[in-house]
Amino acid sequence: MFDIDTHNDFSIFSQRINKLLEKISKEYGHVKHGCILLAASFENSRIPFRQDSTFYYYTGINEPGVVLLVDLDNTRTLMVPQYAGNRSSWISSQLASIVDDPDSFGIDDIEKLGAEIPGYQMSPWMSNEAYSGLIQVVNDYIEHDGTIFVMGNKMSGVLTDSYTVFQRLNCSVPNFNEHCVDISHLVAQMRRSKDMSEIEHLFAAVELSVLAHEAAAQAIAPDVLECEVQAQVEYICTAGNARIAFPTIVASGQSSTVLHHEPTKDPLVAGDVVIVDCGAELNRYCGDLSRTYPVSGTFNARQKELYNLVLELQTYISSLVKPGFWFTNNEEQEKSLNHLARKFLHERGGYDLYFTHGIGHFLGLDVHDIGDVSVPLAEGDVFTIEPGLYLPDEKIGIRIEDDFWLTKNGAICLSEALPRKPEEIELFMRAQFSYHEEQDPTDSSIS
């Protein structure tokens, strides 16, 4: 139902490389010799493999440890580790398919990354011999005054596995750093603006995230453990052939005022609220939704007052946002969503003091997707709008988060199907409470 798999058609990834080459030609037209270097992530036996988002964006390849070199003439060479072991007998791998039919993956040549390595897994800590082929190719470019275009991750502020590859080349190839050009800004421009195939993937991830929230709401009741609610969320993701996009947050009572609370064995307490912040990652694209639920099924007067204030703020911001607005702009505060949100709360009783995070973030292949926030919002952006209020003295945290796609006419909510108004949430939860009350725990008969 949710799996929109277009990944057998690698033309879209090839087109992205073409567009990146065009951008490089436009900005660095004086460079006549060189290549783009993209490095994949490495495997880690403790966690499921997840490909580097930028590598995946341009290749669609989910194989670890490989390196793609794209010459400025658009020749594409995939350099693969030379495994001693039969990798396909140990791990489900794309590698054999790529080697057998590189053209289907948009690859012109397959070359060895280096000397043979033991086993069937590549590690960033292998010796230089394991990278000897790559080192030689890069050295040849530099000896002929070539430029190496790399993704330096300045836009994300996160060091990925590719950094270890760049550091190895810097230590092994004379003058490597001097011949590198960071194209993070070009990559961020491209990844930020989503095409329709990406919107389809994002919408599917959001749909599954909505189902995860429904499962969480069905589980919420007094004395249920936070981790039991978490289990319902993550079951839905797994059953939907997806993974969680980030660590699931289930935060009740005092913990609802902690932004990134990890679920515990603490029981939900009648009269408290519980924030559920979760998202499915499906076909590599992420959903990210937050709702605040009353543990007893209904909000008390104070909780509803705060909830309605947060909802009113979200509705206000989502109605305003359009191309040309910013997440934050100190010089143009009348078009700065964070400034507008804080002004809104300040004018309604000084509640801006209790809004302790930003109004939103970009969303895509990463839950906090890369994008230059110094550039105004534009058509094709996908982002969250997530106002919140956190009052530790009252043990009340409220957050409402939805995912939006920006068009020329304004923002479209991708998560509209998830109940948002307090009355809708209470009605939904009453239905769940009624269901549980109708079940007789002493009745073990099988109908």
201 and 164 both lie in a single domain? no
Q: Which of 246, 243, 306 is nearest to 273 (CA)?
A: 306
220 and 338 both lie in a single domain? yes
Q: Domain boundary at 192, 221, 242, which?
A: 192
Instruction: Identify the CATH number of the domain in which residue 106 sits.
Output: 3.40.350.10
303 and 220 both lie in a single domain? yes
Beta-carbon count within 10 A of 196 CB: 8
Does some domain include residue 78? yes
Q: Domain boundary at 192, 221, 249, which?
A: 192
Does some domain include residue 425? yes
Does some domain include residue 3? no
**CA dihedral sign, ordered 60, 63, 64, 68:** negative
Q: Which domain holds residue 36?
A: 11-192
**Residue 247 in tokens:** 């660590």
Q: Is the pTM of this model over 0.75?
A: yes
Q: Which of 329, 346, 348, 349 is nearest to 337 (CA)?
A: 329
224 and 152 both lie in a single domain? no
State how far the alpha carbon of 357 is from the alpha carbons of 159, 256, 257, 351, 419, in Å.
Answer: 23, 14, 12, 13, 23
Judging by DSSP bridges, how do beta strands 280-282 and 67-71 pair with one another?
unpaired
Does some domain include residue 131? yes
32 and 81 both lie in a single domain? yes
- Euclidean distance between CA atoms 9 and 12, whole angstroms: 7
274 and 366 both lie in a single domain? yes
74 and 215 both lie in a single domain? no
Buried b or exposed e, range 66-101, using 16+ CB within 10 angstroms: bbbbbbbeeebbbbbbbbeeebeeeeebebeebeee
246 and 148 both lie in a single domain? no
Give the helix ranges, DSSP H, for 264-324. Answer: 301-320
User: What integer pLDDT is reported at residue 431 of this predicted model?
Assistant: 67
186 and 333 both lie in a single domain? no
93 and 35 both lie in a single domain? yes
Does some domain include residue 443? no
**Contact by Cβ (8 Å): 6, 197:** yes
Reported as half-sphere exposure (CB side, CA atoms, 13 A), residue 56 has a value of 17
Give the residue carrying structure tokens 């959903």.
287
Q: Domain boundary at 192, 220, 236, which?
A: 192
DSSP label of 251: E
Instruction: Identify the CATH number of the domain in which residue 233 sits.
Output: 3.90.230.10
| Number of domains forming the structure of the chain | 2
**Residue 349 in tokens:** 């009783």
47 and 122 both lie in a single domain? yes
- Euclidean distance between CA atoms 123 and 91, whole angstroms: 15
Along the 447 residues of the chain, how does pLDDT read in single tens digits?
A: 444 344 567 899 999 999 999 999 999 999 999 999 999 999 988 888 999 999 999 999 999 999 999 999 999 999 999 998 788 778 778 888 998 999 999 999 999 999 999 988 888 888 999 999 999 999 999 999 999 999 875 444 455 778 889 889 999 999 999 999 999 999 999 999 999 999 999 999 999 999 999 999 999 999 999 999 999 999 999 999 999 999 999 999 999 999 999 999 999 999 999 999 999 999 999 999 999 999 999 999 999 999 999 999 999 999 999 999 999 999 999 999 999 999 999 999 999 999 999 999 999 999 999 998 999 999 999 999 999 999 999 999 999 999 999 999 999 999 999 999 999 999 888 766 655 555 554 443 333
User: What integer pLDDT is reported at residue 156 of this predicted model?
Assistant: 45
